[in-house]
Amino acid sequence: MLESQLMPYIIRPMKYEDIPQVAQIDREAFPGEWVFRSQAAYKQDLDNPSIRYMVACKEKHVPEPKGQALEKPPWFKRLFSYERRLNIQEYIVGFSGFWMMTGEAHIIAIGVRNDYRQLGVGEGLLILTIELAQISNANIVTLEVRASNKIAQELYKKYRFQVVGRRLRYYSSDGEDAIIMSTDNITSVPFQASFQQLKEDYAQRHREILARVC
């Protein structure tokens, strides 16, 4: 495991300046499908109050170019951490998004960079997505997942998603079927009890991931 993968993560709402990195992850995580979510499409989504996106990110220290020392800014700019912002930027490793319909939060995608999979990032994004769905007064959460993506299906089942249908030849890149999955009522006592326990277990296993619901 790379040392950079062990650094703390923050999960927060997506901003306009995140779009290029999110589009890059989209192309990497969903090859053949990314053309339906261009940078322009993401900007439109962020302008839509019915759609919410979250990103998992970390601070990435960017070294100064060799032999090209940056000119030191005036003291009043240094006072507001201008110099620090020149050399540190956020590196986005994953994202999730959903849109709200009547009483339903439909997950658009949960994508993680290839080098950061199996590290708990996707699960953290799923937890935040469900919490945001609750805040948005959704009753159920639904999604589509590739029929061959057994790892993702097992994660969703862990969070009480059930298979409710199948979309034949749903993915245009290769004609693969999509499995439709849905939760029971996320405001119900059984769901809430299970969800709270799963969140506590996750927090114990992944103290390096800080989730912010805004």
Active site residues: 144, 156
Helical ranges in 108-163 per DSSP H: 121-135, 150-158
Q: Are strands 161-167 and 88-101 parallel, antiparallel or unpaired?
A: unpaired
Q: How far apart are CA 159 and CA 126, in angstroms?
A: 9
**What is the CA 146 to chain-centroid distance, rounded?**
18
d(CA 58, CA 92): 7
For residues 33 and 144, what is the distance between their CA atoms, to the nearest angstrom? 13
* Torsion angles phi and psi, residue 31, rounded to 5: -60, 135
CA atoms of 189 and 208, how far apart (whole Å): 29
**51-61 sheet: strands from edge to edge:** 161-167, 178-183, 140-146, 104-112, 88-101, 51-61, 9-13, 209-211
Backbone angles phi, psi at 137, to 5 degrees: 65, 30
Distance CA 186, CA 36 (A): 29
Q: Which two tokens stand for residue 78?
A: 């240094």
